[in-house]
């Protein structure tokens, strides 16, 4: 893979510092006004509440005391405060006041009648200003709440733009030279990089393509398992490109509020069109591009409206507009079919787990700048990491460096890489776990059973290490080392692998005459593989060439699964899986019986050393002969 330099010429991205400064100033002014208004509103609300409470001087009298004083002629005058629901005045001891219920007309009529009968002069005061207290006490809390929300949005809203931020897409714009990752930092994805190099070259020099009458694809969809480098490729394109690059996650378009998702889609593509030619990258496209259903309620309607707006925007690009949409997802099967048609995503690039050469290149990239020992064999490490993704390999290198630092080593040695692989596959060692003699004996024969059956059957991988030191949740550990990458596997190879999985369980039964729960993980893996052979690979002798994978509801693509087969077929599947497991266990027992001496030797050596690998393990397994054809098949 040729390395490409990170220095490029070309025009700079357009900048508008005046508009940005004006926006910041407006935001600051709005924030200052909101901060000043908040204590004023709170203080005014407190003053209103204090003023609205009655403040009548004098002694408080009960209603019965007041009527009794009226009969005795000791009340001199009275003033009825209508809003305060009080009667105030003077009597022989000074000032007084009486509280009554303003909504009770009977009490009010009774008191006024008592005042008339006693001949006491009285007046009624309307208090019109206090009649405004009730609406004011409703408006002021609302204003305080709104002011507080404005402050929060101005402080923490997207871009600090408050309510208008809801409709902003929040896409990040990468300036030329901002991204430090280039295609030189990507390995194992040569074919995918060719597709993106073509896009980069078209945007930087379109004349060469236009002379041939060719136009750049409107959309490129990157698909593949998690951790295989889809987002890394996009970041590499951002580092290589000399045009504006906008990145956003599909979940950023999803919002609980109605209409926000489509508004963000419109804003996102509006900004992209204004900056054309440019590249936009949507990560985790399935968050917004999931297939539409025929029955949508609530949030489903909003998600579909967001998807519809995305379809409209992508279909609205004119040929030669200079806007290229790059998207990534690890679930292309649930994407809406309208999103995948040519004209929206013209090209789909499948990214799979790297092969041995790709893994070697990835390991070398991640090992840059790390002090490696001369004995480190990156090629050997790559061969031992079959099935690892790019993210897994990065974790291997980082874990090896951590182990070297933890062990006080000045360089990263080969053993650190091997231990890092083991930690990622089976978990860290648990040497503090003390095994009883019975458990130690049973686990040793269990792991030895795996090794013998794997060695005797040709369809299995080579055993590279045995250990009875607990790792993760497992009591022991058997490490199979694949000879190389395989594009496909045969039925006989899969049957041999199932027998090897059940070899530990068969060894326990053969030696101790009893079974334990320690084989649960092996049994789960064996059942899963046997069921896939029947339902996915068409390797059933009963059902023949018949794939019985569950059907995805094509109308909704919401993950609603239907069996796709009858109860009779389901019964046949269960019977076939049971037959495969029974035959695999019989083959494993036959191998162990034939090689009982070797089984005892490996188990006792494992109990003594706790870990067997390399030449020691190969020497112990050397007497094991290939199983006869009747046992293997």
- Greatest mean pLDDT among 73-82, 156-165, 311-320: 73-82
pLDDT of amino acid 10: 38
Same domain, 337 and 404: no
The pLDDT of 232-252, averaged and rounded, is 81
Same domain, 138 and 210: no
Angle at CA of residue 330, ends 328 and 334, nearest 5°: 100
| Spatial separation of the C-alpha atoms in residues 245 and 93, rounded to whole Å | 87
**Looking at 549-558, 587-596, 605-614, 617-626, which range is the least confident one?**
549-558
Q: Provide the mean pLDDT of the chain.
A: 79
Where residue 105 falls among pLDDT bands split at 50, 70, 90?
low
CA distances from 350 to 19, 225, 347 (A): 42, 9, 10
Full domain range(s) for residue 37 = 18-52+133-167
In a domain, 9, yes or no: no
Q: Contact at 8 Å (CB) between 599 and 621?
A: no
Question: For position 86, which CATH number holds?
Answer: 3.30.720.210
| Spatial separation of the C-alpha atoms in residues 141 and 132, rounded to whole Å | 15
In a domain, 12, yes or no: no
More confident residue, 501 or 21: 501
pLDDT of amino acid 582: 94
Same domain, 264 and 371: no
> In the predicted model, is pLDDT for residue 5 greater than 60?
no
pTM: 0.65
**Looking at 84-93, 512-521, 571-580, 591-600, which range is the least confident one?**
84-93
Question: For position 343, which CATH number holds?
Answer: 3.40.50.300
In a domain, 3, yes or no: no
**Annotated catalytic residue within 240, 422, 447, 576:** 447
The pLDDT of 553-564, averaged and rounded, is 47
Question: For position 491, which CATH number holds?
Answer: 1.20.58.760
**Looking at 215-224, 293-302, 308-317, 590-599, which range is the least confident one?**
293-302
pLDDT of amino acid 487: 74
Counting Cα atoms < 13 Å in the Cβ hemisphere of 214 gives 13
Q: Are strands 219-223 and 323-329 parallel, antiparallel or unpaired?
A: parallel
Angle at CA of residue 213, ends 209 and 215, nearest 5°: 60
Q: What is the largest CA-CA distance in the chain?
A: 128
Question: For position 390, which CATH number holds?
Answer: 1.10.8.60
Same domain, 337 and 470: no
More confident residue, 379 or 215: 379
Q: Contact at 8 Å (CB) between 414 and 584?
A: no
Same domain, 449 and 510: yes
Same domain, 339 and 448: no
> In the predicted model, is pLDDT for residue 612 greater than 70?
yes
Is 194 part of the annotated catalytic residue set? no
More confident residue, 321 or 188: 188
In a domain, 1, yes or no: no
- pLDDT tens string 444-475: 999 999 999 999 998 888 888 888 887 767 77
More confident residue, 173 or 447: 447
- pLDDT tens string 253-299: 776 666 677 888 888 888 888 887 788 888 888 888 887 764 444 44
In a domain, 179, yes or no: yes
Same domain, 442 and 337: no
Same domain, 406 and 504: no
Per the rule left: phi > 0, alpha: psi between -120 and 50, beta: everything else, 188 is left
Last residue of a domain, one of 324, 350, 376: 350
Count how many domains the chain has.
Answer: 5
In a domain, 431, yes or no: no
pLDDT of amino acid 334: 85
Residue 405 tokens, joined: 């630092």
Q: Contact at 8 Å (CB) between 423 and 577?
A: no
**Looking at 248-257, 335-344, 349-358, which range is the least confident one?**
248-257
| Spatial separation of the C-alpha atoms in residues 622 and 208, rounded to whole Å | 63
Same domain, 365 and 336: no
pLDDT of amino acid 549: 62
In a domain, 152, yes or no: yes
In a domain, 555, yes or no: yes
Q: Whose CA is closest to 270, among 199, 341, 321, 235?
A: 321
Q: Contact at 8 Å (CB) between 85 and 99?
A: yes
> In the predicted model, is pLDDT for residue 393 greater than 70?
yes
| Spatial separation of the C-alpha atoms in residues 87 and 92, rounded to whole Å | 16
* H-helix or E-strand spanning residue 480: strand 477-481
More confident residue, 432 or 437: 437
Same domain, 405 and 466: no
Last residue of a domain, one of 127, 147, 180: 127
Same domain, 280 and 339: yes
Last residue of a domain, one of 404, 425, 446: 425
Burial classification of residue 596, based on how many CB atoms lie within 10 Å of its CB (0-12 exposed, 13-18 middle, 19 or more buried):
middle
Same domain, 273 and 197: yes
pLDDT of amino acid 559: 44
Where residue 171 falls among pLDDT bands split at 50, 70, 90?
low
CA distances from 265 to 221, 249, 310, 353, 547 (A): 18, 12, 6, 32, 40
């Amino acid at each position: 893979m040729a390395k490409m330099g990170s220095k490029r010429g070309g025009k700079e991205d357009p900048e508008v510092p005046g508009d940005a400064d004006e926006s910041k100033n407006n935001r600051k002014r709005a924030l200052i006004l909101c901060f000043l208004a908040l204590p004023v509103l709170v203080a005014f609300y407190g003053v209103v509440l204090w003023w609205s409470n009655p403040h009548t001087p004098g002694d408080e009298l009960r209603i019965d005391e007041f009527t009794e004083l009226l009969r005795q002629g000791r009340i001199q005058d009275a003033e009825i405060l209508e809003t305060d629901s009080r009667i105030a005045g003077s009597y022989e001891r000074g000032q007084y006041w009486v509280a009554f219920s303003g909504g009770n007309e009977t009490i009010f009529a009774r008191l006024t009648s008592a005042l008339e009968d006693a001949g006491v002069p009285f007046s009624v005061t309307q208090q019109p200003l206090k009649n405004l207290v009730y609406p004011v006490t409703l408006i002021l809390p609302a204003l305080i709440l709104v002011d507080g929300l404005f402050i929060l949005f101005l402080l923490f809203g997207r871009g600090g733009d408050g309510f208008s931020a809801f409709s902003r897409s929040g896409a990040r714009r990468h300036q030329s030279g901002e991204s430090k990752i280039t295609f030189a930092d990507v390995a194992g994805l040569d074919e995918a990089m060719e597709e993106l190099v073509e896009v980069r070259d078209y945007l930087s020099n379109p004349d060469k393509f236009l002379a041939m009458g060719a136009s750049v694809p409107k959309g490129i969809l990157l698909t593949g398992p998690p951790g295989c480098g889809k987002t890394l490729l996009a970041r590499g394109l951002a580092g290589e490109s000399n045009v504006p690059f906008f990145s956003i996650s599909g979940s950023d378009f999803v919002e609980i509020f109605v209409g926000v998702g489509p508004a963000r889609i419109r804003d996102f593509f509006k900004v992209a069109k204004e900056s054309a030619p440019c590249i936009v990258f949507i990560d985790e496209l399935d968050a917004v591009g999931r297939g539409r259903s025929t029955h949508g309620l609530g949030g489903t309607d909003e998600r579909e409206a967001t998807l519809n707006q995305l379809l409209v925007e992508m279909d609205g690009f004119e040929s030669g507009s200079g806007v290229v949409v790059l998207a990534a997802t690890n679930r292309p099967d649930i994407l809406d079919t309208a999103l995948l048609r040519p004209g929206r995503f013209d090209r789909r690039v499948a990214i799979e787990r790297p092969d041995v050469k790709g893994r070697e290149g990835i390991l070398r990239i991640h090992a840059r700048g790390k002090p490696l020992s001369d004995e480190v064999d990156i090629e050997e490490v790559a061969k031992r990491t079959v099935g690892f993704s790019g993210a897994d390999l990065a974790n291997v290198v980082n874990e090896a460096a951590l182990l070297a630092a933890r062990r006080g080593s000045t360089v990263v040695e080969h053993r650190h890489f091997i231990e890092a692989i083991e930690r990622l596959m089976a978990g860290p060692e648990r040497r503090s776990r003390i095994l009883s003699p019975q458990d130690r004996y049973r686990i040793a024969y269990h792991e030895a059973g795996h090794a013998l059956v794997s060695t005797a059957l040709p369809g299995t991988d080579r055993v590279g290490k045995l250990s009875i030191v607990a790792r993760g949740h497992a009591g022991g550990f058997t490490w199979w080392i694949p000879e190389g990458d395989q594009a496909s596997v045969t039925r006989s190879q899969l049957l041999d692998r199932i027998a090897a999985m059940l070899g530990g369980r068969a060894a326990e039964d053969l030696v101790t005459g009893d079974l334990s729960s320690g084989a649960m993980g092996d049994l789960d893996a064996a059942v899963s593989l046997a069921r896939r052979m029947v339902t996915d690979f068409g390797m059933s002798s009963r059902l023949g060439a018949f794939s019985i994978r569950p059907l995805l509801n094509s109308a909704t693509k919401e993950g609603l699964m239907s069996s796709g087969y009858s109860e009779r077929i389901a019964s046949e599947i269960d019977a076939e899986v049971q037959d495969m497991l029974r035959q695999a266990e019989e083959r494993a027992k036959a191998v162990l019986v034939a090689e009982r001496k070797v089984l005892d030797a490996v188990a006792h050596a494992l109990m003594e050393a706790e870990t067997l690998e390399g030449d020691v393990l190969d020497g112990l397994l050397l007497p094991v002969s290939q199983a006869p054809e009747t046992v293997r098949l």
